[in-house]
């Protein structure tokens, strides 16, 4: 798909064409310009040649059919992954990538091993949601993506402008109309961008990949912590909370023998004391680096945090069998 020439082409057309095109591409989900009978034949031919709607994707489904992963080949041949999770009820969450690869090399993350190839542009981020809407429409005429999380490949705040542009686009009432509160951005802790995000006056959710309660441990797992140490990250989070009054989700991977001890639970409780946050404990999905924490240790860790007065939840993993779970996105299909 390539919509980069679209606005240029529509410039010489009456204003209402933009509306017709948005309706066709983002609401009716057409895959061929010939289907758009509201447009004159000549314009359809121009669009057919200059703005192809085809998305090149290979789709995999997990055994339980709840998770699907798509491997999209971009126009320049680079590949990215995006995941659809179908929850009970009619909630459908899409996990989008924001970069091809990621430069931050967290030791537990498969994407981090790829290094950074390039940033995605806003179209390429939105295209991922569009693809899943097309898939959902085939399942049920009215089924659509309801939630979007920026937790796929890449660090969203290292591609800030395009990520923000894509959020506004997903949010657009004339397009996907996905409410800001249904959109979450996860960051490894890019301090200046957390502060900037606080100023955006958006109702989008922020998640912080915390994973360790001390600088020493966090730096050994997440090299970015040497640039932006915990104290700076936490004060950026304080600033965000003060500005937005929105609760921040702190993601904490549970890795056996690395960050799952009661002593570490205690340090974490101290770090997060009295902050408007919740802790989301995430099962470590194997990437050949560590072992997942034992269930009894996760329970003890969780109980300690609850007793210390923190709000804690546990994330269920989706799609491990098709390597679609968090941190497993690495294009080895
Ligand atoms: N770069 C951003 C967003 C993408 S990663 C970030 O790091 O926040 C999305 C989430 O998946 C993060 O919380 C990340 O820490 C987590 N993750 C990475 N590797 C994982 C693994 N092997 N198992 C489970 N979660 C993982
Ligand atoms: Fe990049 Fe996030 Fe993976 Fe770290 S966890 S390497 S920041 S994608």
* Contact in structure between 85 and 93 (CB atoms under 8 Å): yes
What residue ranges line ligand 2, CB within 6 angstroms?
102, 104-106, 109, 111-112, 154-155, 188, 209
Backbone angles phi, psi at 153, to 5 degrees: -75, 140
Active site residue 326: yes
CA distance linking residue 110 with residue 286, whole number of Å: 9
Q: What is the pLDDT of residue 315?
A: 81
Cα distances from 27 to residues 100, 143, 246, in angstroms, run 27, 11, 30
Active site residue 81: yes
β strands within 62-146, DSSP E? 67-73, 79-86, 92-95, 99-102, 115-119
Q: Which two structure tokens, joined as six digits, stand for 237?
A: 């989070």
CA distance linking residue 97 with residue 101, whole number of Å: 9
Minimal-distance CA residue to ligand 1 atom 26: 327
Q: What is the pLDDT of residue 261?
A: 98
CA distance linking residue 62 with residue 324, whole number of Å: 9
Report whether residue 282 contacts ligand 1, using a CB cutoff of 6 Å: yes
Backbone angles phi, psi at 131, to 5 degrees: -55, -45
Long-range residue pairs from 296-300, CB within 8 A, at least 24 positions apart, any chain: 297/254, 297/256, 297/260, 297/261, 298/254, 298/260, 300/262, 300/265
List the one residue out of 163, 45, 38, 22 whose CA is nearest residue 99: 163
Ligand with minimal distance to 159 CA: 1
Minimal-distance CA residue to ligand 1 atom 18: 327
The preferred substitution site among 282, 286, 314 for testing ligand 1, maximizing ligand atoms within 8 Å of CB, is: 282
Task: Please check whether the domain covering 55-322 is classified as CATH 3.30.230.10.
Answer: no
Q: What is the pLDDT of residue 327?
A: 66
Q: Which two structure tokens, joined as six digits, stand for 148?
A: 């979007």
Q: What is the pLDDT of residue 333?
A: 52
Give the residue carrying structure tokens 């609401």. 27
Domains 1-54 and 55-322 share a fold: no
* Contact in structure between 138 and 144 (CB atoms under 8 Å): no
Report whether residue 81 contacts ligand 1, using a CB cutoff of 6 Å: no
- List the catalytic residue out of 51, 95, 106, 326: 326
DSSP designation for 255: B
- List the catalytic residue out of 81, 124, 127, 155: 81
Spatial neighbors of 125 by CB under 8 A, at least 6 apart, are 96, 97, 98, 162, 163, 166
Distance 109 CA to ligand 1 centre (A): 6
Per-block mean pLDDT, blocks of 10 residues, the chain (333 long): 93 94 95 96 96 96 91 95 90 96 96 94 97 95 95 97 97 92 98 98 96 98 98 98 97 97 98 98 89 96 98 82 70 60
Q: What is the pLDDT of residue 231?
A: 98
Topology of 1-54 in CATH?
DNA polymerase; domain 1 (1.10.150)
CA distance linking residue 300 with residue 297, whole number of Å: 5
Q: Where are the domains of the chain?
A: 1-54, 55-322
Distance 209 CA to ligand 1 centre (A): 7
Q: What is the pLDDT of residue 281?
A: 97
């Amino acid at each position: 798909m390539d919509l980069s020439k679209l606005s240029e082409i529509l410039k010489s057309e009456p204003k209402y064409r933009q509306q017709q095109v948005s309706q066709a591409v983002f609401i009716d989900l057409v895959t061929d310009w010939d289907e758009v009978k509201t447009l004159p034949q000549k314009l359809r031919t121009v669009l057919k040649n200059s703005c192809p709607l085809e998305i090149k994707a290979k789709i995999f489904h997990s055994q339980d059919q709840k998770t699907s992963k798509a491997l999209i080949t971009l126009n320049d041949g680079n590949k990215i992954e995006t995941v659809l999770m179908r929850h009970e009820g009619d909630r459908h969450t899409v996990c989008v990538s924001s970069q091809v690869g990621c430069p931050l090399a967290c030791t537990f993350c498969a994407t981090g091993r790829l290094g950074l190839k390039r940033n995605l542009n806003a179209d390429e981020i939105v295209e991922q949601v569009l693809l899943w809407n097309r898939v959902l429409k085939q399942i049920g005429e009215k089924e659509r993506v309801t939630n979007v999380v920026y937790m796929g490949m890449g660090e969203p705040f290292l591609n800030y402008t395009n990520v923000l542009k894509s959020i506004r686009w997903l949010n657009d009432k004339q397009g996907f109309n996905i409410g800001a509160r249904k959109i979450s951005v996860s960051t490894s802790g890019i301090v200046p961008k957390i502060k900037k995000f606080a100023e955006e006056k958006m109702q989008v959710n922020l998640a912080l990949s915390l994973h360790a309660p001390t600088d020493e441990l966090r730096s050994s797992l997440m090299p970015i912590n040497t640039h932006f140490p915990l104290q700076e990250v936490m004060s950026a989070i304080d600033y965000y909370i003060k500005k937005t009054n929105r609760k921040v989700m702190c993601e904490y991977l549970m890795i056996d023998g690395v960050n799952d001890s009661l002593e570490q639970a205690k340090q974490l409780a101290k770090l997060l004391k009295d902050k408007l946050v919740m802790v989301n404990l995430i099962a470590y999905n194997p990437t050949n680096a560590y072992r997942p924490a034992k269930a009894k240790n996760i329970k003890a860790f969780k109980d300690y945090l609850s007793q210390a007065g923190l709000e804690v939840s546990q994330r269920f993993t989706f799609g491990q069998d098709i390597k679609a779970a968090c941190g497993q996105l690495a294009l080895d299909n």
